[in-house]
Structure 1
C-alpha cells in the first residue's frame, strides 16, 4: 500500500505531499514536517518486495544505510544530504532526509545539455570534498553517479547552486566483503572490479566520480568498463568536446583508468589533481575578486582564515587595499552581487551557522534599530561581546561551537580595525537594500 497525498503519518508529525519515485526496493515521498513546516523526503522499503526471500536482508541493509548516512552527515557537511529522523510506521522503516530543491545532475544534463567546464568541475569538486570526509569515516558510497548528485538551487539567490550527494543505499564500509548480491544500476559509471567482484576501495568512488565528470562535460555516458575489457576504447572527453582543457581531460582519464592500481589511490589525491588542472581565468585589471580561496577555506572549515580572506576580498571589491579599512560610504557603495556571493558562501559551507544574512536576522530579533544599544545586544547574541565588553579577536571561538552569527566579523576592515560604533548598522542597511 502506498501513502496518498495529504496522508498523515507518525502520529501526525509528517504529511505526505507526493510520491517522488520508487525503485525495486525503496520508495521515496515528499512530505512536510507539520510542526516545523519544513519540507523533507521520506524513504521507506517498498512493500511489494516483502515476499522476496531476501527481504529481511534488504531491510537490514536499509537500516544500515540510515546509520551510515547519520554518521556521514553528523558534521552537517553542505554537500552530503542530511538525515533528520528514523522511525517505524505501518510495519515499515522510514528514513527522513533533507529535501533538496533542484534536480539531479543526470536530469540537468538530459534537459539542458553538457555543462560548461568550470561549472561541471565546481560541482564535481564539491562532491569530491564531501567524499574525502566520508572516506575518513571508513565508508564508501559506491554509487557516485549523476542520478545521485543533486544540484540544489535557491531561485532568489544568483549563483547559489551547489551539488549534494544523496542515496547511500549501496554504500559499504571498508571491511572485506564476503558475498555481495547487489545490482549496480549505473554500470556505465562503475568500475569493473565493483560490478564483477564486489571490491570496495577508495578507487571505486574515484572512478565513479571521474565518470560523472565525463558525463557532465560531454553530455554522454562513458564506455562501459565491461566493454573496455573487450577492447572497446574509452573515447577521451576532449575528442567529444574539443574546447575542454587538456588538464581536466587527463584527470578524467586518470580517474577512469581501467585497472584500479593505475588510478589515484585516494579521493583527496584525485580532487587535488582536478584542482591543479582546472584552468584559471586570465587576470586583468577589470576583473573582480577571486572567491575560490575563500571557498576552499570554508570547505576546509578554516573559519578564522576564511574571515580574514573575506576582509581581503571586500577591500579589493571597493579598491581599498592600501587604506586597509572601509567607511560608511564604502559600505553603502558595496556591490550587492559581491555581498550576496560572500554571504552565500558562508551560509552554504557553515550550514547556515554563519553569514551576513544570519547576522541580519539576529539584528532584527534584537529590535532592528540603528543605535548602539541594539549593536550591543547583537554583539552579546553572536559572541562579539561578553560580560559587557567587546571580545578580543584572538580570544574568539572560531568553530561551529561558536554562537550562531559570529562570522564573518571582518574586524580589520570596519571602524579602522576596532570594535564599537555603528559599523554593523551601516552594513545591515546595505543588506536590506540588497535584499540579502
Structure 2
C-alpha cells in the first residue's frame, strides 16, 4: 500500500506533501501539497489503501482517472475545480483546488443548527451547482453536509467529492451511498435514476442543517434513512418537529423533496429551489408603460411600448449624493473619479449591504433588492455611469439585458447571452471574481460585478426589475 508522508516529494519533485491527509473516504485519500516552484497549495486525491489492496485495483484506478477527467470539464464557482491528473509510481493523483475551510457538517457540529436564511444560502449555491452538473448529463449521487466545503471567512459553499458521479443515462449503478441522504433508488443497482435522485439528497442536507440540534438530542446525526421509511413504515418527522422556527414553505418543500417514491418526489433541483422561494416565479414585465407590481392602473392611450433610453437613470449628480437612509457615498464617488474600478466595485458592495442592513449575510437576497431604496440605487448608478462615461452601471447592464429579450422570467439562454455580452462568461463558462477585468477596456456593462448579488441569477433578474421601477 502507498501512503504519502509529510515532506515527501512527488511527481519528480514538483509537489511536496504538507502534513497529514486532509481526509479519507470510502474510495480516496486527499492530501495537501505545495507546488515547489510557485508555493501554491493544492489538494491531491488518490485511491486509498483499501482500494489499493483490491484485486481489481488497476480497473478501479482507470475509473478513478476517467471520473476525474469528467469533473475537469466542470467550471462553476460552487464546484471544486479539478486541474489535472499526475502519476507517482503506480499511483495516480488528481490535482484539485485547495480550499482552506471546513465542511458544512463540521460547521454545524461546531455552531449548531443554522438559521433558515443561512441554510438556504448554501442550499441555493449547491443547488445551482447541481443544475449545472445535471445539464452536463451527470448525477453527483453523494450530496451531504460532509461533501460541501465552506470557504474560510466567506459564506460560500463548494461541492466536493465526485467519487460516485455517474451519467444520468446510466441505468445500472453501484449501490454505494450515505445513509440518511440517499434516496430509495440508490439502494439498488438498477432503478429510476434522474435529477430527482440528487434532489432527495439536497433536501435531506437542508433537513439536517435546520434540525441538527434536535437530531443530536435523539442520538442521530442524519435524517431517517429512506429504507426505514419504506419498509418499516416509519414516517419522516417534519423539520418543524425538531425546529419550530422553520417556515411552513421550507418545511413543505423539504418533505416533498424527500418523498420516498421517485414518482412523487420533486422532479428537478430548479423546482425544489422554486418551492423554497429561491427562484422568482412571478413574471414582471419590463415594458416601460406597464406597472411592475400588481397595481390597478387606468388604461393608457399612448403606445404601450417604446425603446428605453441608453441610460434610464440620469448620469448627473444634481441634488448631491442622495440617500434615503443617510448613507455616505463620498468614498465611492472618489474611487470612481480616480478610476479605481476594483476598489469602487468592493465599495459598492459595502454600501449596498449597509443600506439593506445585510452586512452580516454578506449578500443581497431578492427581497432586499425588491425593497432597496430607489434614491440610493439612483445615486450609485449615476456615479458609475458618470465616471465611466456611460460604459459601466446598473442601468447599462439592464439595458443590455433587455436588448437580449430579458424579463423577470428566467431564461438560461438569455442569461448566458447576457453573461457573454458583459464579459462575465468566457469560453462558455462563468468567470470567478479573480477573472473580472477592472479596466475601462472591459466590455460595456462589465462593472459593477454580480458579486454584490450573490443570490445568483434570481437576484440578478429581480435587480434589473428594481432598476426599472426606480427610474425617475
Q: Which bracket does the TM-score occupy, shorter chain normalised?
A: 0.5 to 0.7
Offset at residue 187 of structure 1 (A)? 1.3
Report Cα offsets for 1:201-221 as digits up to 9, x if no partner. 110100000000000011132
C-alpha distance in 1 between matches for 2:436 and 2:118: 33
How many residues get paired?
323
| 2:171 aligns with one of 174, 177, 189 | 177
TM superposition shift of 1:332: 7.5
Q: Distance in 1 between matches of 2:163 and 2:194?
A: 17
- Distance in 1 (CA, whole Å) between partners of 2:421 and 2:196 is 40
Aligned equivalent of 1:84: 83
SS of the residue aligned with 1:209?
helix
Q: Give me the whole-angstrom Cα distance separating, in 2, the residues matched to 1:189 and 1:329.
A: 46
Extract unaligned runs of 5+ from structure 1. Answer: 155-159, 279-307, 313-317, 350-378, 385-392, 412-436
Contact 1:16 1:30 in 2 (8 A): yes
> Relative to 1, partners in 2 of residues 1:276 and 1:13: Cα closer, same or farther, differing over 3 Å?
closer
**Contact residue 175 and residue 186 of structure 2 kept, 8 A:** no
Structure 2 CA distance for partners of 1:336 and 1:170, relative to 1, 3 Å? closer
For 2:352 and 2:37, locate their aligned partners in 1 and report how far apart those are by CA, in whole Å.
32
Question: Aligned in 2, Cα 1:49/1:272: closer, same or farther, shift over 3 Å?
Answer: same
Q: How high is the TM-score relative to the length of structure 2? A: 0.61
Q: State the Cα distance separating 1:21 from its structure 2 match.
A: 2.0
Correspondence for 1:195 = 187
Alignment partner of 1:339 out of 337, 343, 349:
349
Q: Within 2, Cα distance between the matches of 1:104 and 1:161? A: 12
Distance in 1 (alpha carbons) for counterparts of 2:26 and 2:278: 41
175, 188, 203: which is aligned to 1:210? 203
1:28-427 equivalence runs, <5 A:
28-73=30-75, 77-154=76-153, 160-178=154-172, 180-184=173-177, 186-199=178-191, 200-219=193-212, 220=215, 221-229=222-230, 230-276=232-278, 319-320=322-323, 331=334, 339-340=349-350, 397-401=422-426, 404-405=437-438, 406=442, 409=447
How far 1:275 moved relative to its partner?
A: 2.5
Q: Secondary structure at the match of 2:188?
A: helix
The 2-side partners of 1:98 and 1:341 are apart by 31
TM-aligned CA distance change 1:68 to 1:275, over 3 Å: farther
> Which position in structure 1 is the counterpart of 2:302?
none
Any conservation in 2 of the 1:251–1:277 contact (CA below 8 Å)? no
8 Å CA contact 2:4, 2:17 repeated in 1: yes
What SS class does the counterpart of residue 404 from structure 1 fall into? Answer: coil
Task: Specify whether residues 265 and 12 from structure 1 end up closer, same or farther in structure 2 by C-alpha distance, changes over 3 A only.
Answer: same
C-alpha displacement of 1:11: 1.8
The answer (yes or no) to whether the contact 2:78–2:129 under 8 Å persists in 1 is yes
Q: Is the 8 A contact 2:23 2:30 kept in 1?
A: yes
Distance in structure 2 (CA, Å) of the matches to 1:152 and 1:328: 29
Taking the aligned partners of 1:45 and 1:336, their CA distance within structure 2 comes to 42
Tell me if the contact between 1:257 and 1:263 (Cα under 8 Å) persists in the aligned partners.
yes
C-alpha contact (below 8 Å) 2:100/2:151 kept by paired residues:
yes
